Amino acid sequence: MINLETPKKFKAIVHSAQQAAENVFRPISRKYDLAEHAYPKELDVFAAAMDGMNAGDKANAAGAGKLSQAAKAGDGVRNGANMQSVLGLEALCWGDVGLALSLPRNGLGNAAIAAVANDEQLERFDGKWAAMAITEPGCGSDSAAIQATAKKDGDHYVLNGEKIYVTSGKRADLVVVWASLDRKVGRAAIKSFVVEWGTPGMELVRLDHKLGIRASDTAHIVLSDCRVPAENLLGSPEVDTKKGFGGVMQTFDNTRPVVAAMAVGVARAALERTRELLDEPGDYDRPRWQQNAAAAELLALEADWEAARLLTLQAAWMADNSQPNSKEASMAKAKAGRVANAVTLRCVELVGTAGYCEDELLEKWARDSKILDIFEGTQQIQQLVVARRVLELSSSELK
């Protein structure tokens, strides 16, 4: 059964992440918000320390490692790489979401590799920084509508297509590209391929300017007859129309709780700072009807935040214990993304002009939080996934 206390073996990691958020991320947060696309060099030393902390589970800040044999067999209860990831990222994003996304070797593509790669691929790509390229100009939240293609040619696949909004797309060593082996077959033919930067045919078109998470680069990439070794395909090369594209979608079951944890972290930062700015001695110890309106509303926001955090921990715990968590992962992402937006914007309003100026990070957190309700599947997509799971309907039966 899930225990809501932080597991003892992760307490040191969470403490280190919180210290880094306070002493490394916060001091440079505004600097790299203003200097968009500049690489945060200060993160290199911290990233090396993170590598050491994560070495045992082959996990990283953006993804989970493979299940242990004990977890697969259902022997006992395991708190593993998924729980470690969400707890660590919550702490880091209390400091800065964009900087957390900019940590070397901790890209969203690493989550895809960790989720579905075989042992040889895990070893070959170990220590590499991997971005993930899913979204296309004509394909947003509907991943099944991907137009990029991959054609088998001897011992290579030839990739063609266009990818946008690729987080850490320029800085990463590798890009995990989603492409279709046969568009006539539909979603079952969608596979993920690891493409190394420097491979002929993969070109960086531009970096996008953004509302928030400006410390993180967001790339537009084009693939033109890009030849990728066949051994860089993640998962099975077979097209199974009965299974659909569950193999690549398994990535989302790992990354959606991760994004939820980011949202939980930035919302906690906003709540704590707003409480500091509004607090009066003893105000929060009074019954709600005896509190001022701002304090009473802050308590309601804190309750909503707590619900989002618990859903996130549940989804991560289920993944660590080999329990199907697609519904719970989408519930956590939907709830946390919405809560982060609502909390950060309302906190800006509650503190008045202080929340609207660059003297406080509150206005930055409000901007940063918006992406957390969009990437890895929008609010509407999460609700659709949850509805399908609850009603036991397929994607063709409930669109």
pTM for the model stands at 0.91
Closest CA to 305 of 343, 360, 355, 358: 343
Q: Residue 296 — left, alpha, or beta (φ > 0 → left; ψ -120 to 50 → alpha)? A: alpha
| Both structure tokens of 103 | 């940590």
Active site residue 376: yes
pLDDT score for 68: 43
CB of 150 closer than 8 Å to CB of 157: yes
pLDDT score for 310: 96
Strand partners, 157: 152, 228
Give the start-to-end residue ranges of the domains of the chain: 8-124, 130-234, 246-391
- Name the DSSP class of 22: I
pLDDT exceeds 50 at position 63: no
CB of 126 closer than 8 Å to CB of 110: no
Residue 100 sits at φ, ψ, to 5 deg, of -60, -40
pLDDT exceeds 70 at position 315: yes
Closest CA to 376 of 101, 157, 29, 42: 101
CB of 34 closer than 8 Å to CB of 96: no
Q: What's the pLDDT tens digit per position in 161-172?
A: 999 999 999 999
Q: Is 153 strand, coil or helix?
A: strand
| Both structure tokens of 332 | 């956590």
Q: What's the pLDDT tens digit per position in 80-139?
A: 989 999 999 999 999 999 999 999 988 889 988 988 899 999 999 999 999 999 999 988
| CATH hierarchy code of domain 130-234 | 2.40.110.10
pLDDT exceeds 90 at position 399: no
Single out the catalytic residue among 297, 376, 392, 397: 376
pLDDT exceeds 90 at position 2: no
CB of 345 closer than 8 Å to CB of 239: no
| Both structure tokens of 190 | 């969608």
Overall CATH class of domain 8-124: mainly alpha
The whole-angstrom separation of Cα 285 and Cα 347 is 20
| Residue spans of beta strands (DSSP E) within the chain | 130-133, 149-153, 156-167, 174-180, 190-196, 202-207, 218-229, 233-234
Whole-Å CA distances, 282 to 255, 278, 279, 286? 40, 12, 8, 7
Q: Is 324 strand, coil or helix?
A: coil
Q: What's the pLDDT tens digit per position in 274-300?
A: 999 987 544 556 665 566 888 889 999
Angle CA(52)–CA(64)–CA(178) in degrees, nearest 5? 120
Q: What's the pLDDT tens digit per position in 147-157?
A: 999 999 999 99
Average pLDDT over residues 268-275: 96
The whole-angstrom separation of Cα 153 and Cα 321 is 39
Burial class (CB in 10 A: 0-12, 13-18, 19+), 270: buried
Q: What's the pLDDT tens digit per position in 220-256?
A: 999 999 999 999 999 889 887 666 555 566 778 888 9
DSSP H/E element including 369: helix 362-369
pLDDT score for 49: 66
The whole-angstrom separation of Cα 234 and Cα 270 is 39
pLDDT exceeds 60 at position 187: yes
| Both structure tokens of 120 | 């040889």
The whole-angstrom separation of Cα 114 and Cα 60 is 9
CB of 220 closer than 8 Å to CB of 37: no
Q: Is 157 strand, coil or helix?
A: strand
pLDDT score for 343: 98
pLDDT score for 251: 78
Please count the other Cβ atoms lying within 10 Å of the Cβ belonging to residue 51.
Answer: 15
pLDDT score for 137: 94
Whole-Å CA distances, 28 to 20, 21, 25, 38, 271? 11, 10, 6, 12, 21
pLDDT exceeds 50 at position 62: no
Q: What's the pLDDT tens digit per position in 342-395?
A: 999 999 999 999 899 999 999 999 999 999 999 988 999 999 999 999 999 988
Q: Is 200 strand, coil or helix?
A: coil
| CATH hierarchy code of domain 246-391 | 1.20.140.10
DSSP H/E element including 250: helix 246-278
- Least confident span in 57-61, 259-263, 324-328, 364-368: 57-61
pLDDT score for 290: 64
Q: What's the pLDDT tens digit per position in 7-60?
A: 999 999 999 999 999 999 999 999 999 999 999 999 988 777 666 555 544 444
